[in-house]
Amino acid sequence: MTTALRFRNIDASPDDPVETWPFEGILAAVERGTLPDWRRLASAIRADPWGPVAHQVLEAVQLSHPYGTTELLEGVVARARKLAADSERADVASEVQGLVARSGLSKQDFAERIGTSRSRLSTYMSGQVVPSATLMVRMRRVALHASETTTPRARHSWSGSRSAISSLAK
């Protein structure tokens, strides 16, 4: 890609990937760049919203307050971070749903086994609330243990248990 942007006194080219630019290159793009340069920054920010390019862009706009681009680039970082957080929240909800299903337990039983209520488990499964890391570990352990120790017949039929109880009562 060829750009009108020029760097001064740094060993990088504006044609290099923005992830390889030193801070001075990011600062030059923020202050003197044009729309194609800012698009490249935005693309790198979307790929890694909390990464070095995002941090350097925020630092550059706070340092120089370039007219018109401060709001634009701060907005790019904020939107990228929100989209990433929403995606991560959905991933966690999907994992919780899978753990409950894999366990073979009812939602009520699963909730009791992890030490919470069914309604709170529902908020985890919908993504409204993100469980703590320790609770995620507990959910994985309960799902694994329940799936290993519970057979489909034992989950859905009491006939085997009734006959065993009857024989003990005699």
**Alpha carbons 141 and 44: distance in angstroms, whole number:** 37
Mean pLDDT value of segment 4-31: 94
**Mean of the per-residue pLDDT values for the chain?**
89
Q: Give the tens place of pLDDT for each residue, 118-128.
A: 999 999 999 99
Residue with tokens 């499964």: 125
* Ranges of each domain in the chain: 18-66, 89-150
Residue with tokens 């030059």: 28
**Alpha carbons 99 and 147: distance in angstroms, whole number:** 10
**Alpha carbons 36 and 3: distance in angstroms, whole number:** 8
Contact call for residues 147 and 103 (beta carbons, < 8 A): yes
Domain 89-150: which CATH number of 1.10.260, 1.10.15, 1.20.120, 1.10.3470: 1.10.260
Q: What sections of the chain are H helices per DSSP?
A: 23-32, 35-47, 52-64, 69-103, 107-114, 118-126, 133-149, 152-156, 159-169
Q: Give the tens place of pLDDT for each residue, 51-106.
A: 999 999 999 999 999 988 999 999 999 999 999 999 999 999 999 999 999 999 99
Contact call for residues 41 and 18 (beta carbons, < 8 A): yes
Burial class from Cβ neighbours inside 10 Å (0-12, 13-18, 19+) for residue 125 reads buried
